[in-house]
Chain A
């Protein structure tokens, strides 16, 4: 259980985290989403007591992190940046951490085995790949067999097998009654892993709800339409309040796919019938976490990239 109340972090004039309150519950995987610079990593560092909040408090299992007598058994964290000296081996690194809590050598071997690091455990960490480094970070987080896990971008640099492994691991740990707090930019992966999402943008909480409800509520559902008489149908759909986006402008009219939002499929079907237009496809498209997320954070993105397709989509939309 992680509880934040009025948590705020300012770096000079800039407010990284702005008066946020949330609870991360045990027994489920809670996803932490947000654009780069939204305050995710800062929040996680404040939970770990590494950064001092400007205002507010955050507790794990009812206490501030520094007040735990056995912190590694309470919280295991994989933070964004590497937290390993490159000159030590994976084994030595884990032994050092284990020594602070008198964790037996057997547990060190167990987490090395669990994270698949046996073959490189005696090698210096400086030569590790990104994926190996992540695995060592996860091994460090699991070392104290903690009741709360904080994983910042755990699948970063992992191969598809590793991504699947992290997903299963996170779900397994939560099923044991642990609190699992996970951030990721991979929306499809997050949709499969998390039961609950907290979305942060520009330092504020934008959403805090169960995954299913978030995907449902926060997004416009859309309908895919294909017809050889698109030019006749589209004005009628737009007149009825639908917003149309066309795919692939170069294709002949009959192959174009129109994505309609604002109208559901029965309404579009009836418009087609009224106008005597044959439809080749009329498919309701379930919204995804990615769409829900993009929609919610569109205004909160800190660092905008220039969209190279902008002229095309504009042409199709208006």
Chain B
């Protein structure tokens, strides 16, 4: 501080009556910020809603798909099962059906995780809480990182619970038909771990976008648009122009299309959500390899967070 000022006739320190807070030695550190962010997350109803919904969707979708598979196996004429000899070469490889049923919930879980990720930051700006947050911990980047860690831990917990429940509800049905998850199969384990990792990246992307836009509705729309609407639009484009190569290049690099290769990968041939797409993005362009695809999604997420970090530091709260 400058020693002499036009307005201050007295020096700052000595001589003035000066009150010292009993908490003056209680310093803000990252661990304490983590605790505060953890409390913040779990004291809001929206957290319980989105996380409960995530688990319900993961388990529910697994139950639904198990039931559908059971019906199809019991009705061999339905176009499914070993008896089905047409179209898809030698019929789909049923060995990975069980794991696909367990992980398929990611398709809807990414929606609720994205909402949670956006909300973690946008609700602070929407309510004005951010001013209290930055008053208590003015190092803004640390607030972002604390939120990132809390959100990541929460996403892992919920994904694991969701996957476990999905396995538990599908096992009794699928086991009747000899279809079980093979935890010794590397690609099946990758699908399960990949679901957790995929949802983490969705959460990161959503937190980044929420930090950039600071607006709940706008943030959720943007993330859902990127993750779910863009692939739908490209699904249509691919259907219209199946031979155009650049459509394929863009399609396979979309955040969700790229990232979900870690979950679906080669196991997905014949089961693609877009139908007969298989492992082809379009125009003869193959989908990215599982880990390459995941890296592409991670780049989107990290770029959103870096831009968010820049914005949170620069802009007025």
Q: Hey, which bits of chain A sit against chain B, CB under 8 A? A: 1, 3, 5, 21-23, 25-27, 45, 48-52, 59, 61-63, 65-66, 68-75, 77, 79, 81-89, 92-93, 95-97, 99-103, 107, 140, 144-147, 176-178, 208
Contacts and interface: CB of A to CB of B under 8 A. Distances in A.
A77 B128 CA distance: 14
A208 B7 contact: yes
Contacts of B123: 85, 87
B131 A50 contact: yes
Interface string B121-154: 0011001111110111111000000000000000
Contacts of A103: 23, 26
Given A3-B12, A71-B28, A147-B19, A84 B129 contact: yes
Interface residues of B, number: 49
B39 interface: yes
Interface in B31-83: 32-33, 35-36, 39-40, 43-46
21 contacts: A3-B12, A25-B16, A26-B16, A27-B16, A45-B316, A66-B138, A73-B21, A73-B26, A75-B135, A83-B128, A84-B129, A88-B43, A92-B43, A96-B36, A96-B39, A100-B28, A100-B36, A101-B26, A102-B26, A147-B18, A177-B16
B24 interface: yes
Contacts of A79: 131
Contacts of A96: 36, 39-40, 43
A307 to B, nearest CB: 34
A101 B128 contact: no
Given A27-B16, A49-B138, A99 B36 contact: yes
A50 B138 CA distance: 8
Per DSSP, chain B at the interface is: loop
A78 B254 CA distance: 45
Contacts of B130: 83
A87 B46 contact: yes
A92 B136 CA distance: 15
B8 A23 contact: yes
B25 A52 contact: no
Nearest to A81: B128
B40 A52 contact: no
B176 interface: no
